[in-house]
Chain A
Amino acid sequence: MPSKPIISVTKLNKYFYSPDKSLKIDAVKNVTVDLYQGEVVVVIGPSGAGKSTFLRCLNGLEDFDSGSIIIDDIPLNHHHKNRLEIRKEVGMVFQSFNLFPHMTVRENISLSVRRVRKKSTAECEKITASLLDKVGITDKIDSYPGQLSGGQQQRVAIARALAMNPKVMLFDEATSALDPEMISEVLDVMKNLAKDGMSMVVVTHEMGFAREAGSRILFMDNGEIVEDREVGGFFEDPLEDRSKAFLSKVL
């Protein structure tokens, strides 16, 4: 394993307050973790465990209250410039796809390449075509998202995130909003990405994916990382009681 982590999280804390401000809820509690190039880290745990919040902290979609996040040597803090730099290196795929409905697939994918990477139109076309090839929907390039199935939309969303050529990809329950028969087509794209050596942080309920494509498991409960293990060990022989209880329910 290379010595320098690509994402380094130290003592990360984030609280929410209940609506009447009487109750402080730890969404992310004292999380310290280092992620290395090429790792596929799968974050699992019961709902409300803070998995998504943790993930959203990693690219600054959520502010955190204390601790530090360093991504590719750039500290994520209140400097707007750092935040933009980090977001260029970190791609994100959402549960609800969040494609831009008024743009065609081509425009969805090329927007960031054109406006952020400032590539020429010819280069944008090339990148868009190769990414659509990668996710397997070249024939839908001029369709609007509303004309695509959920699985196709999510694959376009993955292509859109990849267009920035990120160093890390974050997946926030990318298959949870899909009809069952479409889950595998999206998981296949994610597995291929993992095979190609992309560093990934994946929040998911798909234990099959975690086993097959994951290299490391972070098991979270109540905002804390309960167990941080390589995949085989975690599924064969979980150490903590909470992990055991969780696995007995989902497997």
Chain B
Amino acid sequence: MKKHNYLLDGVILLVLILAGILGFLRIKNGFSYSWNWGAIPQFFFKLDESGHIKPNLLMLGFFTTIKLSFWSSFAAIIIGTFMGILRTRKNLFSRLTGRTYIEIARNTPPLVLIFIFYFFIGNNITTALGIDQWARNLSGAGKGVLSFLFSRPERFSEFLSALFTLAVYEGAYVAEIIRGGLESIEKGQFEASDALGISSIDKYRFVILPQVFRKILPSLTSQAISTIKDSSIVSIISIQELTFQGMELMASTYLVFEIWITITAMYFVLTISLSTLASFIENRMVKY
């Protein structure tokens, strides 16, 4: 075996550390910015009048981002699986439906989609369906559950349009991932289940999709991470998620760098946990 050259590794590491120190000193002395990290912790948690610890803006935004990404990823996987399957069917109508959805959702800027859905769904559909009314008239406990799972009742219809937009947008990518997965499954697997007289739904449920999901788990994880990051754009319709809270705080405190660095770190914590979880699941799966 070739001997590893640790000396070279050491030199490279040293150079990187020196460059880091140099950069830090340049920033510290070269540009006059008075850092105030001490002001940040209070935006995570605060004490209310009775002395209890309450989550403050950053944590509230963090929770909203988690809820929003979770539900929209969940919905995106359902939409994507369905559309991905349609896309691979022989039937022309199925293929057209799948293709049309994917191309429209994928070839529209998400920001534009958000506005469309916000004004269309948020202002018309949810009102017409009485969802606003329903959320407002919930009992105390019902409101608690709604806030815990989704958002505060008075913001529920905005939350829904944000969720719907993200789900539709990310769903198109999921559909393409699923299609890739489906096309990688041998034809014999479909034929064997057909020959057994298994219904179409059972064929996908028991035979095809379990194999597909195993293959596409890494791409699906990337997509979920994208969903978390893309969820920041719904701040534009005043969903109070992490980026929105960051902008609010920045406007009121001018702690530009501290706040954005903190928020970057919070997104990072979220996405890195997700990819760690995914590789844990991958390793735990039965090898066949």
How many angstroms from the CA of A146 to the CA of B194 in the assembled complex? Answer: 22
Q: Which of B189, B196, B211 contacts A161 (CB 8 A)?
A: B196
* Residue from the list B188, B202, B210, B286 in contact with A115, Cβ < 8 A: B202
The smallest C-beta distance from B211 to any residue of chain A, in angstroms, reads 5
Please measure, in the bound complex, the distance between the C-alpha atom of A112 and the C-alpha atom of B207, giving whole angstroms.
11
On chain A, the residues within 8 Å of B214 by CB distance are 102
Contacts of A61 in B (CB 8 A): 191, 194-195
Given A98-B186, A101-B288, A102-B288, A112 contacting B198 (CB threshold 8 A): yes
Contact A111/B288 with A59-B195, A87-B195, A96-B188 known, Cβ cut-off 8 Å: no
Distance A60 CA – B190 CA, assembled complex (angstroms): 13
- The answer to whether A94 and B196 touch across the interface, beta carbons within 8 angstroms, is no
B191, B196, B207, B210: which has the most chain A beta carbons within 10 Å? Answer: B196
Residues A100 and B188 in contact, CB atoms below 8 Å apart: no
Residue on B nearest A147 in the bound complex, by CB = B288
Are the CB atoms of B188 and A164 closer together than 8 Å? Answer: no
Q: Does A116 belong to the interface (CB within 8 Å)?
A: yes
Are B196 and A98 closer than 8 Å at their CB atoms?
no
Is A144 engaged at the interface, CB distance under 8 Å to the other chain? Answer: yes
- Indicate which residue in A94, A102, A164 contacts B210 across the interface (CB closer than 8 Å): A102
Q: Which residues of A contact B196 (CB under 8 A)?
A: 87, 91, 111-112, 116, 160-161, 164
A124 within 8 A of partner (CB) = no
CB distance from B237 to the nearest CB of A (A): 42
Report the bound CA distance from A103 to B196 in whole Å. Answer: 15
Q: Which of B94-133 contact A (CB under 8 A)?
A: none
**Cβ–Cβ contact A161 & B288, under 8 A:** no
* B286 partner residues in chain A, CB cutoff 8 A: 102, 144
> Residue B199 at the A interface, CB < 8 A?
yes
- Chain B window 181-219, contacts with chain A (Cβ cutoff 8 Å), 1 for yes, 0 for no: 000001011011111111100100011001100100000
A88 close to B (CB within 8 Å): yes
Complex alpha-carbon distance, A111 and B198, angstroms: 9
Report, as a range, how many residues of chain B touch the other chain.
20 to 34
In the complex, whether A145 has a CB less than 8 A from a CB of chain B is yes
Q: Which one of A61, A88, A161 has the highest number of Cβ atoms from chain B below 10 Å of its Cβ? A: A61
| Chain A residues with CB under 8 A of B197 | 84-85, 87-88, 112, 116, 164
- Would you call A9 an interface residue if the criterion is a C-beta within 8 Å of the partner chain's C-beta atoms? no
Does A94 contact B192, Cβ atoms closer than 8 Å?
yes
**Contact across chains for B188 and A146 when beta carbons are under 8 A apart:** no
- Binary flags per residue of A116-153, CB closer than 8 Å to B gives 1, else 0: 10000000000000000000000000001111000000
Set of chain B residues within 8 Å of A60, measured between Cβ atoms: 194
| CB-based contact A100/B194 at 8 Å | no
In angstroms, Cα B197 to Cα A164, docked, is 9
A229 CB → nearest B CB, Å = 28
Contacts of A158 in B (CB 8 A): none
Which residues of the other chain, A, contact B189 by a CB distance below 8 angstroms?
Answer: 98, 100
**Would A98 and B288 be within 8 Å (CB), given that A88-B197, A111-B206, A116-B198 are in contact?**
no
Partner of B288, one of A84, A96, A115, A145: A145
The yes or no answer to A99 lying at the interface (CB within 8 A) is yes
List chain B residues, Cβ under 8 A from A147: 288
Q: Are the C-beta atoms of A98 and B191 separated by less than 8 Å? A: yes
Q: Is A6 an interface residue (CB 8 A)?
A: no
Taking CB atoms, residues of chain A closer than 8 Å to B207 are: 100, 111
A43 interfacial contact with B, CB 8 Å: no
B92 to chain A, nearest CB (A): 15
Interface residues of A in 179-209 (CB under 8 A from B): none
Which residues of A sit under 8 angstroms from B193, Cβ to Cβ?
100
Known: A145-B288, A146-B288, A164-B197. A98 touches B192 (CB 8 A): yes
Contact with B along A92-116 (1 / 0, CB 8 A): 1010111111110000000110011
Q: What 7 pairs between A and B have smallest CB-CB spacing?
A: A87-B197, A98-B192, A98-B188, A92-B195, A88-B197, A144-B288, A112-B196
Given contacts A61-B191, A115-B202, A116-B202, 19 further A-B contacts (CB under 8 A): A87-B195, A87-B196, A88-B197, A92-B192, A92-B195, A94-B195, A98-B186, A98-B192, A100-B211, A101-B288, A103-B206, A111-B207, A112-B196, A112-B198, A115-B206, A144-B286, A144-B288, A157-B192, A161-B196
28 A-B pairs within 8 Å (CB atoms) are namely: A59-B195, A87-B194, A90-B195, A92-B192, A92-B195, A94-B195, A96-B188, A97-B188, A98-B186, A98-B191, A99-B192, A100-B189, A100-B192, A100-B193, A100-B207, A102-B211, A102-B214, A102-B286, A102-B288, A103-B206, A111-B206, A112-B196, A112-B198, A116-B198, A116-B202, A144-B286, A157-B192, A161-B195
Residues of chain A whose beta carbon lies under 8 Å from any beta carbon of chain B: 59-61, 84-85, 87-88, 90-92, 94, 96-103, 111-112, 115-116, 144-147, 157, 160-161, 164
